[in-house]
Structure 1
Amino acid sequence: MTASDHTGTGREGGIAALIRRRPLVSFFVLALGLSWVAWTPWILSDNGLGVLDFSFPEVLGTSQLTGMLFGAYLGPLGAAFVVTAVTGGRAGLRVWVGRLLRWRVAPRWYLVALFAVPAAVLLLGALASGGQVHAPSMFAVSLYVPALLLQMLTTGLAEEPGWRDFALPLLQDRFGPLGAAAVLGPLWGLWHVPLFFTEWGSWPNVTVLHVVEFIAFSALFNVVIMWLFNRTGQSLPIVMLFHVSLNNTVSIFWLEMFPTVPADMLQHVLLAGAAVAATVTIVLTRGRLGLPRVVPASERSSTESEKMTV
């Protein structure tokens, strides 16, 4: 074995050991870092800052699929796979993938995932427009389901196996529901920040307020997603549907139905709605966000004794 072989083995062992010691930190560093590096060419291209004199090809009228999607997959999804494989091996990967395939939940949760967010967004739009609501075109209505499926395979699959499937259970075990929300929500929002320098973020019509509001919205919306994740027995398909229902409703229906609402008002409206929803969720669940309470063994024994006595 050569000296270089010894060096490589030591480095690999060191990185693996670091990931095992700090799985959450490793995940967040990889999730943000890998995505940001992969997005750099798109950000610097004519689709963003215009530093590099080329543009990414457009698919379905946007360069997001060619410029952003690879980095989105590489970040949260790729980081979750790597850290899970290192820390949990095949057994850990089975648990991780198991939540992704957890489709068998009560039908009411599909109704919540599919209709709660669209109904809330349309209600917010009606309030913001003063009741000036336009009926959507038949084209928009017919586009909704295919676009939702595309969003599931892009946004949903790229993000949720990382943020909610991998990070959330570990964060809740360590910090509890509200502590996990305080960590995960802002970091989820922060992950998007470089995208504001591209057509995704309507560059160059972007201000610091837009970015801050988006991060705040992400933190608040994450609270409601956490509740749904916990209440459905950690079903990732339900969480993915809930998440992408928001993206889909806004992108397809908002401009058609509420043309009198200024474009820069959308984030204000969504932030206000998320603040109300998060507050109600925290109050009604008493801060548990749907996470079942684990009864200590001593309390379980006491309770069982009382039942036998009764």
Structure 2
Amino acid sequence: MISGAHGNDLRGPRWCAQPVTITENIRRRPLVWFFVLANALSWAAWAPYILSENGLGLLHFRFPELLGTSQLAGVLPGAYLGPIFSAYVVTAVTDGRAGLRLWVGRLAKWRVNWRWYVGVVLAVPAVLTASTVALSEQNPMLPAVATLVAYVPGLVLQMVTTGLAEEPGWRDFALPRLQNRFGPLGGTLILGPLWGVWHLPLFFSDWGNWPHWTLLTPVEFVATCVTFSIIMTWVFNRTGESLPIAMLLHTSVNNFFSIAWSQMFPSMSIQDTSHAFLLGSGTIAIVLLAATRGRLGHRAPVLALR
């Protein structure tokens, strides 16, 4: 300490910085908080499933099968706890009731041109069938009648599980903010990898066909999340930010692969689904980028989101 002749402290006044509360921090960095919460909550909820005999086998129990799969009990709770719950919390803190009304409004935006519904339902199987044929050089077989009958109920189930758990977070909350800040292509190129990374722990479970994959498998998955996100962004923007259409697009892929694909291409392996999805989504993404010059149907926002 340096003092004057009379012992006075010459350092000047002391300034005490006010601590930043969690609420203020969320308001300053809503996107960061959303992605951190979505990953932390989902990964924590998935830990028992991954550590169980449905995954690494460190815990000696298995999750029950519901509708022929353990994923409804082991994966779905964590999916609901992650993107949709995190989006709700961050929106409520950041934008209050007005923000929640806007968020829910996109989720409830069912009234779009019927051609979008028909187009998505028909285009997804057509593109994935074409990409599989291109890879395998095999003609598809006609699925059984029971498979065709189960297709629509399966799609409805996918909508209220996977679609509802994920898309209110990725497309409803994150995408508008990312587009307004980084542009449609820049925002999508940020969202796509983060969407893929969120899934990565599940590769150590039945969901990811553990242990029958290589190091390239999750890399290919993340790459596909990027190419598919480009398509999702274009559809979301072109439908006036209709979340039901985005959910339908996402779940149509899951539904086709889980119900019809293996019957149409019985000699193909589960790893081939990843190759077919990447080829199909990558091709469409390139076409959309060229046709829209990277705008992907985005218009300048009326109300900027934080």
TM-score, with structure 2 as normaliser: 0.90
1:248 paired with 2:248, answer no
Conserved? CA contact 1:132–1:260, under 8 Å: no
Partners in 1 of 2:255 and 2:139 — Cα distance? Answer: 21
Question: Is the counterpart of residue 182 in structure 1 residue 189 in structure 2?
Answer: yes
Aligned length: 285
Q: Does 1:71 align with 2:74?
A: no
- Match for residue 266 of structure 1? 273
Residue in structure 2 matched with residue 298 of structure 1 by the alignment: none
What SS does the aligned partner of 1:192 have? helix
Name which of 280, 283, 291 aligns with 1:276.
Answer: 283
What is aligned with 1:5? none
What are the residue-to-residue correspondences of 1:1-310 with 2, within 5 Å? Answer: 14-293=21-300
Matches of 2:106 and 2:36 in 1, distance apart?
23
> 1:62: Cα distance to partner?
1.1
1:223-277 C-alpha deviation (Å, 9 max, x unpaired): 0000000000000001100110000001111110011223322212211111111
| One-letter code aligned to 2:98 | A
**Are the equivalent residues in 1 in contact too, given 2:42–2:82 (CA < 8 A)?**
yes
CA distance in 1 between partners of 2:134 and 2:177 (Å): 39
Per-residue CA shift, 1:71-104, capped at 9, x if unaligned? 0000000100000000011111000000000011
Q: What is aligned with 2:12?
A: none
- Give the TM-score taking structure 1 as reference length: 0.89
Q: In the alignment, is the contact (CA less than 8 A) between 2:120 and 2:248 conserved in 1? A: yes
1:204-234 deviation per Cα after TM superposition (whole angstroms, max 9, x unaligned):
1121110000000001000000000000000
Is residue 113–residue 239 contact of structure 1 (8 Å, CA) maintained in 2? no
| Identical-pair percentage | 57
Residue 287 of structure 1 aligns to a residue whose secondary structure is coil
Amino acid at match of 2:129: L
RMSD value, Cα? 1.5
- Deviation of 1:294 (Å): 6.8
CA distance in 2, matches of 1:79, 1:91: 17
- Structure 2: where are the runs of 5+ without partners? 1-17
How far apart are 1:176 and its partner, in Å? 0.3
Letter in 2 for 1:251: S
State whether residues 148 and 244 of structure 1, in contact with CA within 8 Å, keep that contact through their aligned partners in structure 2.
Answer: yes
Mean CA deviation greater in 39-48 or 53-62: 53-62
CA distance in 1, matches of 2:48, 2:150: 31
Extract unaligned runs of 5+ from structure 1.
1-9, 296-310
- Larger mean CA deviation between 242-251 and 256-265 belongs to 256-265
Cα distance in 1, alignment partners of residues 62 and 138 from structure 2: 40
How far off is 1:129 after superposition? 3.1
Which SS does the other structure have where 2:188 is aligned?
Answer: helix
* Contact kept in structure 1, 2:180 and 2:301, CA below 8 Å: no
The aligned residue for residue 4 of structure 1 is: none
| Displacement of 1:116 | 1.3
- Superposition deviation, residue 28 in structure 1: 0.4
Q: Write 1 or 2 for the structure with the bigger share of helix.
A: 1
SS at match of 1:50: coil
Q: Which amino acid aligns with 2:198?
A: W
Matched residue of 2:103: which SS? Answer: helix
Deviation for aligned residue 1:138: 0.8
CA contact (8 A) 2:180 2:300 kept: no
State how far apart, in whole Å, the 1-side matches of 2:104 and 2:209 are: 35
